[in-house]
Structure 1
Amino acid sequence: MQLGMIGLGRMGGNMAERIRRAGHEVIGYDVSADSGRDVDNLEALVARLNAPRIVWVMVPSGKPTDDTLSQLGTLLEAGDLIINGGNCRYTDDRRNADSLAADGIQYMDCGVSGGVWGSERGYALMVGGDADAYQRALPIFEALKPEGENGLVHAGPVGGGHFAKMVHNGIEYGMMQAFGEGFATMERSEYIQNTAEVMASWRSGSVVDSWLLDLLVRAMNDDPDLKQVPPVADETGEAKWTIEAAAELGVPTPAISAGLYTRLASRGGADDVLRVVTAMRGQFGGHVTKA
């Protein structure tokens, strides 16, 4: 098959290479001239593709995605298909699909997990869209997924792919938070002599064995107590969206919320809150807290 790939960063570039290794033709475009792109603008990308075209958009969510989709809407033709693989909010997908459908352009959303390791391991893909569009793009999805039966799912209609990926990332926040809390508890205990060794032992026979644990152990191989890692973490929106969607559906999400709030606190988001708490403790109880 032939595919246009827009966005050749850490994810998009590796995905393009994996698709090529499966025998498909990929025409790549990125705003960066150093990206290894095949064309230097969207007009040239569309011109290189045979109709009906399939274009995969792998750019940051928000304005970059909106601008790209808007421009593609003026360049593509009826019967072409856009797959949005960025971490967009699921509520944006139906708006995008409706806008493009007015010109006969199909739209699918695809949540992608696998990070920088996906090029070799394959990517977990969660796809939203019509069944006919899914079947049309299936060879591309098959090229990207890991070998074996799992790793690819048609999650539902448009928006379903990004909704599934949103929940996936929320779960990821909760799992990482739990590993972090366990690590910190053992590091402070007189009963544990080597936290890194204990956690590495869980990789065999344990119910908490996972790829996340593998990656944590890999990090601790060079820095067993993780003292070289700064105690701050960013959040990219998906956990917050998961919590909001769950609340609308009446689902409590304390584990995911804990992961999100810890990340916000690590960036200084809790400093004013704690100053207020400390000030009140000093007023009603004479408590003195040292910095």
Structure 2
Amino acid sequence: MQFPSIKMFSLAVAAAIALPLSSAATAGPVFLTGHDPDFHTQPGLGNAGNLLAKALSFVTGGSYNDNLASTKFLWVESAIAAPGGHVKGYNSLDDVGASAVDYDIVDAAGFATAVLSNYTAIAIASSFGGTLTRAELDALIARKTDIAAFINAGGGLFASSECYPCGANLMAGATAPDLFGYLPVNVTSIGASPPFTPTAYGLGLGLTAGDLNDPTHNSFGLIGGLNVVDTDAAGNATTLAGVVNVGNGGFVPVPEPGTLALAALALGALAGASRRRAKNAISATAAL
């Protein structure tokens, strides 16, 4: 009986591991929520600080508050004074431990010329609660291709709630706004139905129902290849997240680091078992 050589098996194991690793090199973390934690994190306005912290940590690989200019993220929000019912979403950032050195803030004009490769992630304020206006939404849509390339280079993307006609004072234009229109796949902002419940994936991110049940402004009609983090009472996804690359007209899920580590361990165990079987077979043959 012939057995595959250990060298050949090792090459097969290496190839199996290398494939998802090479895919991960062309993927980035995306976190989209219909909640507006940039509003409800601020003192006296709710209990969404953990949601905002987990979202920023997810898309920056944990560096959003490391006080290093080399790992800045880019916050996108209008420079106008916040009208009634809105706040400046970036004022929540210090409430979750980020300092001024951790991020830059740009409005529509600033985003148009921003060098995205200088940042670990793009973080987008909410249009109701925060102060994202139609101008910023249009600026993001104008750079849709650049955003896709940024994600494929490993950059993260976080976006808070976008809704219409709620918040129409900031989103009104000649036509209804193309909410989340800068994404490579249509995830469709729809009305939300409280209460909100974290999924197993959301619980794994460290979120609880208490982090999610402040007033919320959209759920999603489609999930676009992302994982569902929480759902509303109608069963619609209200938060989505995943490590993805952009291709084939949308998001393509990529194994996350923990999954890759488990795969490597499993393949290593298989390799060890194969070596033991081969050794035992050789010993048995020699004994004949």
Query: What TM bracket, shorter-length normalisation?
Result: under 0.3
Higher relative contact order (CA 8 A, sep 6+): 2
**Structure holding more helix per residue:** 1
| TM-score normalised by the chain length of structure 1 | 0.23
More strand by share: 2
